[in-house]
Structure 1
């Protein structure tokens, strides 16, 4: 009888424990299982990711993916409701203005609050107009436009917008840096201007003439023409014109395949001209030129792999570890800084709401070196133009003094000729009359 009582008590005790577990443990486990992952902050990249200039778009995508990965690796964007990761969404515009506008509507319809674009000032201009209208018409679904490469000064000048921020040095800033070097080359007497026939190329042509007339009135411009953007397959006729003109140097804002094919044609024709370029240090140009580019191709950029300090070296090595293939060697510090400044602004504002983030971005200064970015900048609040250092560099063989790294496994890299700090590279804001939202 006593044994039965003990067994009955044990059973009752087991039932009580089981009830406690069912009441407390199981709901807790179910709640944990049901807890959603933090909603990502989506960055919508609207860029030409296919077609004749798609290689440039894909290279940009790698930069932005890496920047987002590094933010996420340290916990994401720290907001009051909890940390949230970044997610880059790709929207292939194929380089078309109309397609870009359609994709902007798609992105905002999907709740994207930050749009990224750069490879075409014509596209950037259209996006600014469309986004201004969208944000005014639908303030509950506003978005920001962060621009990493569209360099027409009008975008932060007469067309400046509260919703648009540029993280690249604009045409006039880059041009002024190149002209600093041209002005010092007293052996240069004849110069040829060539560019792409859209807003950026058209502005560069006008501004180059004006600035050269100030700094080098003795310099003869022996050629000046524009060609269709992204449509010329054979640049040999243009190279022949350059040779016939007797030009000693070429100044061009060409980028992507338009630059690569132009310099390849010059090489095939045996031209010994120097090329003062905005984008001659990436996307296949050094490999196409080979020895013909040594001491002839100059480029201007906010940074380059041979900039020289320890922070720069760590930054470059980290990127090469993430993207070890030589053909993926296309790293831009400004794109990394853009993402880091966006994150800093969101954390400062305590939200990803576009107006609050825009206000936090204004006047923001960020030294990216503690975050692994070998670059620093200040977002000028009056026109949303980033102020940053610039380098003018010249193509040399890798392994020579000042050139420890090559470009894209080509065996050729760039060495600094002239460094301008942010104050030296800054040009005054003149035309921006920014309209700010009341709330």
Structure 2
């Protein structure tokens, strides 16, 4: 009798655990959470957790509560594969990542192989910031969705803006030495030659990812080149230390960047960054939308990190909309529902292009300013909008020939 009693209790506990698991959908963030690039991964993790609360308060993902799981990859592709397998072993079917296209490349390949070998246990990869153009062109995958404009889309918008500035006649390129950095450099050279053939590229440097502690030698070369402007796709500590060295050296040339508003930039530069650091992004710091402004303030109060990754909010909202549309959290059903899905956001309507799973969205060029109503990192500095690029003007064609599951 006693044995039967304990058997019944154990069975009841198992049922409770199973029911609890069924009411939760987990999303694993595979990004640098320690080390020199943690300043890029940690705010993403906190942003996801902050926005998951809002999602859960509004019905969750197809009725299930969203749980965010952080997995530290140290920006290492091999470690990322270890963390991906850990997520899979824990039954997680949704992963996200953004910092490092070398990592994204490894994840795309691994997710493809896993899904081929494990039908019914598929994993979906939601990419929020790895912007190598190949991922939605020749390497496009049904299991990969990108929620950020790719490097070519960003450079197309940025060079349109630069081309209109007749004072810019000499440009220096400095980027991280891996696939993304080379994509930025190639796009800049090609697009400037087409739009402003009179502009001279006076330097094209590549440096190791997350290895340079002092960028002064690079800044000295830029100064000697007589550059009127600098273009850089650097992110994480590499953009923070780069612009800091420029300010300390006294380089006056403006920086046109992909990630100039990254964590640490405004506190490192202060007045020296005003009117000098430009960024092309889906977001800027002085939003007119009252609800967005409130979320900016609340996130900083709750987490100590700024509301920087608007695309993460868009990603979760689109995930929710797709799952609710499918009536399921099954990755295959969600992926099919997400294709061609549109979403109204603070900045306008965004669309997940079915052809290549590349989001189409409006972009903004902004510049660092002082005396901002919503300051970044507890300061009075933030990024002020100087140009809006409509979604149709951001869009570029794709060479994707996607293979879809039957």
Q: TM-score range by the shorter chain?
A: over 0.9
C-alpha distance 333-256 of structure 1, shift in aligned 2 (>3 A):
same
Partner of residue 223, structure 1: 203
C-alpha distance 182-123 of structure 1, shift in aligned 2 (>3 A):
same
Stretch moving more, 281-290 or 381-390: 281-290
**What are the superposed Cα offsets for residues 93-150 of structure 1, whole Å, 9 maximum, x if unpaired?**
1111000011111111221111111101110011001111110011121100000000
**What are the superposed Cα offsets for residues 381-437 of structure 1, whole Å, 9 maximum, x if unpaired?**
0000000110001111124xxxx22221232122211101211111112x2111111
For 1:35-434, what aligned pairs fall within 5 Å after superposition?
36-37=19-20, 39-78=23-62, 83-308=63-288, 310=289, 313-324=290-301, 327-369=304-346, 376-399=349-372, 404-429=373-398, 431-434=399-402
Give the distance between the partners of 1:339 and 1:357, measured in 2 at CA.
Answer: 12
Whether the 8 Å CA contact 2:29–2:95 is kept in 1: the answer is yes
Partner of residue 20, structure 1: none
CA RMSD of aligned residues (A): 1.8
> How many angstroms does 1:196 deviate by?
0.2
Could you list the runs of 5+ residues in structure 2 that have no partner in the other structure?
1-11
Give the distance between the partners of 1:316 and 1:350, measured in 2 at CA.
Answer: 32
- SS of residue in 2 equivalent to 1:142: coil
> How many angstroms does 1:326 deviate by?
8.9
> How many angstroms does 1:90 deviate by?
1.1
> How many angstroms does 1:344 deviate by?
0.9
**What is the number of residues matched between the two proteins?**
392
Give the distance between the partners of 2:297 and 2:171, measured in 1 at CA.
Answer: 37
> How many angstroms does 1:287 deviate by?
1.9
**What are the superposed Cα offsets for residues 159-212 of structure 1, whole Å, 9 maximum, x if unpaired?**
000000000011011111111111111011111000000110011111110000
Structure 1 residue ranges (4+ consecutive) displaced by more than 3 angstroms after TM superposition: 33-38
Give the distance between the partners of 1:124 and 1:240, measured in 2 at CA.
Answer: 33
Instruction: With the length of structure 1 as denominator, give the TM-score of the two structures.
Output: 0.86
User: Of the two, which has the highest radius of gyration?
Assistant: 1
Could you list the runs of 5+ residues in structure 1 that have no partner in the other structure?
1-29
Whether the 8 Å CA contact 2:202–2:225 is kept in 1: the answer is yes
Give the distance between the partners of 1:365 and 1:156, measured in 2 at CA.
Answer: 18
> How many angstroms does 1:329 deviate by?
1.4
